[in-house]
Amino acid sequence: MAAVDSFPLLLREIGRSCSSYIETLALVGAFYIAKTCLSLLGDAYTLIRVHFVPRLLRKADFVKLYGKWAIVTGCTSGIGKAYADELASCGVNVILISRNREKLEAVAKDLEESHQIETTIVVADFSHGREVYPSIAKALEGKEIGILVNNAGVFHLGCFTTLSEQHIWDLINVNVGAANMMVHLVLPGMVQRKKGAIVNVSSLSCIHPSPEMTAYSASKAYLDHFSRALYYEYAPKGIFVQSLIPGFIHTKMIKHISLFSKESLFVPSAEEYARQAVTTLGVAKRTTGYWPHTIMLMFGRHLPEWLWFWGIKRVHPAEKRTD
C-alpha cells in the first residue's frame, strides 16, 4: 500500500523538478517561432521592395545614373543577349564581348536597328587567360563605361576527377578570371567619375555546395562573395555592385533536361528573366533578379545539405558555355 501511495508522489516530484526545463524549452520554442516569423516578414518585404515596386515605376535613366556605355560579356545568347537588349532599350550603348564574331555582329546589328543605339563588338575567348585583355583594354579606350555585366561562363557536369585539366582551367579563366580582370579594367574609371554599376552573374547553386558540379558551384560562390565584398568596398565611392544569382533559365544550356524542357513560372525565358532582373539594378546588391527564383532562394537556403544534394542528383545537364 505504501508503495502504491508513493508512486503519485514520485510523479509529482519529477514534475516539479522538470518544470524549469519545460519552461526553458517553451521559451526557446517561442524565440524560434518569433525569429522565423520575423525572417518571413523580412523576406516578404524584400520580395515586394526589390521585385514589384521598381516595376511600377518608370525605367531608370541608366545613362544619367551610370554612364553612356555598358559592357556585356557572354552576350550572343541566353541571359547575356537578353540583358544587353534590355540595357539598349534604356538608351545605353553596348559593348558586346564574346568569342564568336558572326554571332556578335548579328546581335550588334539587331540592337542598333531595334533601339537606335551604338554598339562595339570585341572578339575574345576568356578561356585563353590573360592574353585577351590587352585587346579588350584597347577597345575600351575613350569610352565612358557606366555598367559592366560579367555574364560569360562555362559549365561542366560530372565528378571532379572526370574533368580534364582543360575543363578546370576553363572554369578558372572564364568563370573567375574574366570577372576579376574585367572589373579591374573598368573600375578605376568608374571611381574617377564617382558612378558606375557592376553586375556579376552568379548562380543559385552558390547557396550550397553542389556535388557533380563541384568546381562550377564553387566558382559561382566565389563570384557571389567577390561581388558582396566589392560592394562594401566601393559603395562609398559611388559604385553599385550587384551579385545576380538566377535559378534555371530556359536557355540552350538546360533545354535537354526533361525537368526544365519547357518554360514555366520557375523556368522563365531569358527575355522574361532579363526584363525583371534589369529593374533590380541599383535596388538590391544581392538578388536572384526574378521573384519566383527569390522564393526558391528563401526555401533553398534553409534546406539541409543532404536534401539539396538529392535534388542536384535529379538534374543531369551536359556541359555548356554561355559565351
Which amino acids are annotated catalytic?
216
The Cα 307–Cα 223 span in angstroms is 24
The Cα 266–Cα 170 span in angstroms is 29
Residue type, 155: F
SS (H, E, C) 127-180: HHHHHHHHHHHHHHCCCCEEEEEECCCEECCCCHHHCCHHHHHHHHHHHHHHHH
Q: Nearest-CA neighbor of 243 among 292, 190, 206?
A: 206
Q: Nearest-CA neighbor of 201 among 229, 169, 227?
A: 227
Per DSSP, the three-state class of 193 is helix
Q: CB–CB of 100/76 below 8 Å?
A: yes
Q: CB–CB of 188/143 below 8 Å?
A: no
Q: CB–CB of 82/251 below 8 Å?
A: no
**Partners of 109 in beta bridges:** none
